């Protein structure tokens, strides 16, 4: 595997927080606040999954013959190990470049403002932790191996969903021609890189370069939205009950 340090770095930061015990509300809190804190601590995966089932309901059942052809297509464009490779391609080199940056690179200084440190992020971290490089090397290895395991679980489900989508978008004749191409040497090469091309640095760079245009377009879009909905009555404001307002007030 190439550089998977980014995920390792994220886990390194997140691990202490996730390992910390959940803070219990102080005994002096009102009963409603205690009850509210308990509810916040509850996490029901089944309910979360049910919510996503409602957000993304299954599409119409594809024609069996087309679905069979589409599975061949999905297997070609999403070969085994793609998920790990996607993350690897996207993060390859990014963390090394971040680690090489200095404080002034993260936040450009104005005028004669003094830079807090001349050390790169890597050197600062290594200064505080002499075993930083070894620690990150181990984390990179572990995360790389875990990503391969995750791929084995995720990819069959992704291929199933992809096949269903393909089967609804292309007819049997089209799928036959697509699969015939994917069976050639050039087709196999193209299919194996299809997903990974979306995280290519040039593609990612192009997507990021569109952000200023999107941001500059937002005020005009909001003004148009306001103008075109001006004839509609304003939505009613929700009345907050006194009990709820008191429960939301921070305790001292």
pLDDT in tens, 133-180: 999 889 888 888 888 888 888 999 999 999 999 999 999 999 999 999
- In whole angstroms, give the CA distance from residue 219 to residue 231: 20
User: 197: which DSSP letter?
Assistant: G
Tell me the three state secondary structure of residue 231. coil
User: 24: which DSSP letter?
Assistant: P
Residue 41: Cβ-neighbour burial (10 angstroms; 0-12, 13-18, 19+): exposed
Residue 152 in any domain: the answer is: yes
Query: Two tokens at 87?
Result: 């993350």
Residue appearing with tokens 């304003």: 234
133 vs 10: which has the higher pLDDT = 133
68-106 pLDDT, tens digit each: 999 999 999 999 888 888 777 776 677 788 888 888 777
Lowest-confidence range among 3-12, 131-140, 176-185, 192-201? 3-12
Residue 224 in any domain: the answer is: no
Q: Which phi-psi region, left, alpha or beta, contains residue 93 (left: φ > 0; alpha: ψ -120 to 50)?
A: left
The dihedrals phi and psi of 59, each to the nearest 5 degrees, come to -75, 180
Residue 71 in any domain: the answer is: yes
Query: Two tokens at 93?
Result: 């080199």
Using CA atoms, how far residue 60 sits from 74, 128, 166, 174, in Å, is: 18, 57, 12, 19
Residue 178 in any domain: the answer is: yes
Answer for the pair 132, 126: CB distance below 8 angstroms, yes or no: yes
Q: How many domains does the chain have?
A: 1
């Amino acid at each position: 595997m190439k550089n998977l340090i980014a995920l390792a770095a994220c886990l390194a930061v997140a691990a202490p927080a996730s390992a910390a015990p959940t803070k219990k509300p102080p005994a002096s809190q009102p009963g409603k606040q205690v009850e509210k804190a308990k509810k916040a601590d509850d996490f029901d995966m089944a309910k979360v999954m049910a919510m996503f089932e409602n957000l993304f309901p299954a599409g119409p059942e594809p024609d069996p013959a087309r679905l069979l052809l589409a599975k061949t297509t999905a297997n070609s464009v999403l070969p085994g190990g793609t998920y790990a490779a996607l993350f690897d391609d996207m993060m390859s080199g990014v963390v090394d470049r971040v680690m090489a940056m200095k404080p002034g690179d993260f936040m450009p200084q104005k005028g004669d403002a003094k830079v807090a440190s001349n050390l790169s992020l890597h050197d600062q971290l290594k200064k505080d932790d002499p075993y930083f490089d070894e620690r990150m090397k181990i984390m990179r290895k572990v995360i790389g191996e875990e990503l391969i395991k995750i791929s084995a679980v995720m990819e069959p489900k992704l291929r199933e969903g992809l096949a269903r989508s393909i089967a609804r978008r292309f007819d049997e004749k089209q799928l036959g021609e697509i699969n015939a191409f994917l069976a050639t040497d050039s087709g196999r090469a193209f299919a194996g890189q299809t997903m990974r091309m979306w995280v290519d640095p040039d593609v990612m760079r192009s997507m990021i370069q569109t952000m200023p245009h999107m941001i500059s377009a937002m005020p005009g879009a909001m003004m148009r939205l306001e103008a075109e909905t001006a004839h509609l009555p304003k939505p009613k404001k929700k009345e907050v009950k006194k009990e709820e307002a008191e429960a939301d007030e921070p305790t001292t």
